[in-house]
Amino acid sequence: MSNNKKPIYNDEQVEKLASHIKAIIELLGEDPSREGLAKTPQRAAKALIDNTSGYHSDAEQLIKQALFNHEGDEMVIVKDIEFYSLCEHHVLPFYGTISIGYIPDGEIVGLSKLARVVETFARRLQVQERLTSQVCEVVAQNIKNKGVIVVCNAAHMCMKMRGIEKQATTTATMQYCGEFENVELQNQFFNLLNTKN
């Protein structure tokens, strides 16, 4: 898990998941008792629990833990927040970066909380479009702001490993509200994203 804390596993949950994974391995024509696979059901169960840990995190509460008064109204951007998620259609990974911009209206949030919000929604069975809109919505609703914009760029293993098998394909999604309806402000956001540190 990305919070650097050792995950606490529910033994009953791990064993239930592991039994299903063992059955899947058998249905695929493999021997789950052979040396290389003997502990795979438990390892895979724990990996699934890790990769769906966002179901046990409350994005709104994360934001509310770190709100601060702020008089300025200049755009705040946290860019290139990396994430890893699981496609809800094939349970295969998709991964990439999310950039968040907002215009404060008397309030700002601790920057790390925006990354934690991304993690909360990414660590669920997801689609990129929903992930992008969920991040935008929770930021817009829980920080006093004049506008929010979220851009997500991702690569999908369901397109690389199966189906169409196009290796270079990436997907971009965007969600915005408030003053970011203004195209000039969107352009300013994208210009700042392209500025090298």
Where in the sequence numbering do the catalytic residues fall? Answer: 87-90, 128, 156, 158
- Identify the CA nearest to 54 among candidates 114, 1, 104, 95: 1
**Other Cβ atoms within 10 Å of 145 Cβ, number:** 24
Question: Could you give the CA distance from residue 74 to residue 71 in angstroms, rounded to a whole number?
Answer: 10
Alpha-carbon dihedral angle through residues 19, 25, 31, 32, given to the nearest 10 degrees: -30
φ/ψ of 8, rounded to 5, equals -105, 120
**Which distant-in-sequence residues (6+ apart) come within 8 Å of 71 by Cβ?**
106
DSSP summary character for residue 53: G
The gap from C-alpha 181 to its chain's centroid, in whole angstroms, comes to 24
Question: Could you give the CA distance from residue 83 to residue 119 in angstroms, rounded to a whole number?
Answer: 7
**Helices and strands of the chain, counted as H and E runs:** 7, 7
